[in-house]
């Protein structure tokens, strides 16, 4: 009986040793797997963290670029608005300046015309007096009284010279000239004495006068037809 027990003991020892070795291997494998799992988890977490950081950096970069682009666009828009406003103000200034220059020229011309024609009413009222002197000289010339003729002629010339000094000029027109409605007034027409006078001035009934460039009385003429 004892012999059997002594035979079993080595076997049990071997079994126990095998069981312990097996348990140790399992524990070792668990540690290895655990370490591997931890390493893999840490690696995965690290990769995820790095990817998140990369994504965050990319997002921040994109946002910054977008904001920069929007800011640039806004700055360009403001600059364009300022340029448009500046161009509008410049155009407005040029228009006002041109209008002011035209106003200056117009008022200057009107003032000069006013100076030239300031005596128009007085000169016009004296024209019939000149006409009377012309008629009187024609009639006196038919007489033999030279002294009277020279006296009246002297007064006539003095009056005429005074009016000329004030800007009065006679409209130069005579028989045989072509008729121009801008410079003469036709009061009647008669058969032309010659073919050359057809459609032309045959006689000047009343002299015309102008003050500067303005005709204050048109000469009255007779036309030939």
Q: What is the dihedral of CA 160, 162, 166, 167, to 10 degrees?
A: 30
pLDDT of residue 10: 57
Q: What is the pLDDT of residue 135?
A: 92
Pure H helices in the chain: 2-116, 120-141, 146-165
| Predicted pLDDT of residue 8 | 56
Q: Supply the pLDDT for residue 79.
A: 84
Domain at 117-224, CATH homologous superfamily: Head domain of nucleotide exchange factor GrpE (2.30.22.10)
- Of all helices (H) and strands (E), which one includes residue 224? strand 220-224
Q: What does the domain layout of the chain look like in residue ranges?
A: 40-116, 117-224
Please check the confidence at residue 62 and state whether its pLDDT lies above 60: no
Question: What is the per-residue pLDDT across 89-116, written as a single tens digit (0 to 9) for each?
Answer: 888 889 998 999 998 888 888 887 777 6
Q: At residue 172, does pLDDT exceed 50? A: yes
d(CA 147, CA 136): 14
pLDDT beyond 80 at 193: yes
> Do residues 216 and 183 lie in contact, with contact meaning Cβ atoms separated by under 8 Å?
no
pLDDT in tens, 195-204: 888 889 999 9
pLDDT band at 78, cuts 50/70/90? confident
Kindly tell me if the per-residue pLDDT of 162 is higher than 90.
Answer: yes
Q: Once rounded to an integer, what is the mean pLDDT over residues 11-25? A: 57
As given in the structure block, the two tokens for residue 91 are: 């155009």
Q: How many residues does the chain have?
A: 225
């Amino acid at each position: 009986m004892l012999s059997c027990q002594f035979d079993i003991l080595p076997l049990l020892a071997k079994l126990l040793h095998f069981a312990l070795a097996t348990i140790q291997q399992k524990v070792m494998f668990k540690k290895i797997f655990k370490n591997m799992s931890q390493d893999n988890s840490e690696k995965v977490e690290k990769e995820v963290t790095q990817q998140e950081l990369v994504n965050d950096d990319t997002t921040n970069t994109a946002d910054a670029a977008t904001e920069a682009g929007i800011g640039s666009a806004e700055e360009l828009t403001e600059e364009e608005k300022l340029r448009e406003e500046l161009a509008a103000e410049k155009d407005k200034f040029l228009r006002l300046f041109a209008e002011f220059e035209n106003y200056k020229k117009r008022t200057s011309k009107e003032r000069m015309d006013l100076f030239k024609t300031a005596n128009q009413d007085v000169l016009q009222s004296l024209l019939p007096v000149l006409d009377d002197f012309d008629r009187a000289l024609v009639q006196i010339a038919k007489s033999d009284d030279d002294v009277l003729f020279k006296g009246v002629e002297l007064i006539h010339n003095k009056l005429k010279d005074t009016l000329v000094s004030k800007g009065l000029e006679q409209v130069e027109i005579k028989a045989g000239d072509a008729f121009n409605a801008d410079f003469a007034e036709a009061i009647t027409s008669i058969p032309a004495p010659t073919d050359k006078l057809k459609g032309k001035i045959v006689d000047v009934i009343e002299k015309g006068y102008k003050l500067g460039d303005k005709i204050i009385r048109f000469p009255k003429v007779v036309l030939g037809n």
